[in-house]
Structure 1
Amino acid sequence: MSLNERQRKLLAMLANTGEVKVAALKETFGVTEMTIRRDLEKLELAGYVKRTFGGAIMASKDVAIGDRTGVRTEEKQAIGKAAAALVQENDAIFIDGGTTTLYVARYLRADMNLTVVTNALNIAMELLEKRITTVVTGGMALEATSTLVGPGTIEAIGKMAFDRVFLGATGLTAKHGFSNSNMYEAEIKRLAIAQATEANIVIDHTKYGAKELFSYAGIADVQRIISSERPEEALEQACRESGTELLIAHKDV
């Protein structure tokens, strides 16, 4: 699919920032909002981007974790800090792989009496440095995400019971709930929720309105969403109707 000069520039901006907004693009390029929306629709059809409420983000498709680590760092730090504050002494928790969940592990206090289960190798290393009791599931390693997946992982998690789980998501919509681009990781998330007393989803605001192929939970299936901004009214209303808490983490100033 051929792109015009404006669309190529728009894609370059997205690659640099990770997110664009229609209102800002309209001013930048001096065109109508409808023109920008058509550009984004074309880029989405080509597989380059995922449209969100009011803008677009780069299409995820198992983007290597190293390529995502530096994107929206302040937001993810705030989300991780707010999530870690929910953990209590003697908890048994599960943290799955992802750049936002990594900050949950990073903000856990080293002096807490915890047991943390994870299928993410980078998160396990973070916890070991804090001398937190850490259980790493078995499974097949995915290079892009540093996670362990497959039958071994499923078997291990299925034999455990968690006080709380902290999971990432690639997208969230009122209709499809939480979704992920990798079917193996979606299966793990689904099982972790089933094994938990309390399920927490940690997502930055760009995941609102995005949808991937593999849905792993509806909004009502989790107790809390921890994010950096409030979603659009329709999605927030869906959270209220489902009885799901929306915890907004504010960046440090």
Structure 2
Amino acid sequence: MSMFAEERQRLVADRVAEVGRVSVTELAERFSVTTETVRRDLAALESAGVLRRVHGGAVPAERSATAEASLLERQIQNLLEKRAIADAAADLIESSRAGSVLLDAGSSTEALAERLMGAPLDGAPLVVVTNALPIADKLAADANLNVQLLGGRIRPLTRAAVGPATVDAVERLRPDLAFVGANGLHAQFGLSTPDVEEAAVKAAFVRCARRVVALVDHTKFGVEALVQFARLDQLDAIVTDRAPEGDVADALADAGVDVLEAGKQ
């Protein structure tokens, strides 16, 4: 998929989420493409679970607490926001002089991994530990990084190592920083994800690190997925594209969590 198609599909997904229903004709006019191109975009987004095609257009896909996005869907959604979050997270690594980081499996942490590639070497190589095959594969080519891949059973949906072996390996670590993603960040329920095994690994990340940072875009605020893996008071900071409001903002403040808004540090 070309970058242009990826950007256009992200904007189509945002438009569907914003207005609830879109027509093929409207999208063709908005993006100055043919209706055939729009239909291909809608087919790709439907396959990724982002939306559901209906006669003449599309509507948002229905989601539940156990629904889980594919890698393609997560990479398409909120692409620019995730890149901004990744830039801010990379700055946090540099400013804290962290020597070791844990990167959870997810699209936001994968964006951070891409940001770390090619960074100039300043002292000893940064140690990056991850349970995500895509992240390890990206970073392994960079000689300036010491990349360590955690073992375990690989979940096909997220290509992440999970299970008791993964959790045991994490429990023996004490990294400077852990970066975790989440499907939901709720004032009372904390951070959550749909899968029990992924939640167990994320919870181990939270327990073992000296400092825990959640990478969450604004669409995760107020959302509860099936399994909680961290209370808000277990976090040190969140990096987001838009500052939370209302109950979520109050709960983060009460828990003493620093809110770092990308581009405004």
Q: TM-score range by the shorter chain?
A: 0.7 to 0.9
Residues 188 and 251, structure 2, Cα contact 8 Å, conserved in 1: no
Q: Which residue of 2 aligns with 1:86?
A: 92
Residues 57 and 206, structure 1, Cα contact 8 Å, conserved in 2: no
Which of 127, 132, 135 aligns to 1:115? It is 127
RMSD: 2.7
Structure 1: distance between partners of 2:194 and 2:11 = 19
The equivalences for 1:109-188 within 5 A come to 109-112=119-122, 113-131=125-143, 132-188=145-201
Deviations 1:63-105, CA, capped at 9 Å, x for gaps: 2212321221100000011011111445111001001110111
Structure 2: distance between partners of 1:90 and 1:201 = 16
Match of 2:139, SS?
helix
Mark the CA change 1:165 to 1:14 in structure 2 (over 3 Å): closer, same or farther: closer
Deviations 1:95-128, CA, capped at 9 Å, x for gaps: 0100111011111225252101000000001211
Deviations 1:127-147, CA, capped at 9 Å, x for gaps: 112221011011000111010
Deviations 1:36-64, CA, capped at 9 Å, x for gaps: xxxxxxxxxxxx99xxxxxx886372322
What's the % identity of the aligned pairs? 28
Which of 13, 16, 23 aligns to 1:17? It is 13
Mark the CA change 1:172 to 1:58 in structure 2 (over 3 Å): closer, same or farther: farther
Residues 202 and 229, structure 2, Cα contact 8 Å, conserved in 1: yes
Structure 2, gaps ≥5 residues long: 1-8, 24-49, 52-59
The equivalences for 1:65-84 within 5 A come to 65-84=71-90
- Scaled by the length of structure 2, what TM-score is found? 0.73
Mark the CA change 1:57 to 1:204 in structure 2 (over 3 Å): closer, same or farther: farther
Residues 132 and 159, structure 2, Cα contact 8 Å, conserved in 1: yes
Structure 2: distance between partners of 1:133 and 1:58 = 41
Deviations 1:160-183, CA, capped at 9 Å, x for gaps: 111000000000110100000111
Instruction: Number of aligned residue pairs: give it.
Output: 212
Structure 1: distance between partners of 2:106 and 2:131 = 10
Structure 1, gaps ≥5 residues long: 1-12, 29-47, 50-55
Q: Which moved more, 1:198-207 or 1:111-120?
A: 111-120
Is residue 224 of structure 2 the alignment partner of residue 211 of structure 1?
A: yes
Is residue 234 of structure 2 the alignment partner of residue 221 of structure 1?
A: yes
Structure 1: distance between partners of 2:86 and 2:109 = 7
Structure 1: distance between partners of 2:62 and 2:236 = 28
- Scaled by the length of structure 1, what TM-score is found? 0.76
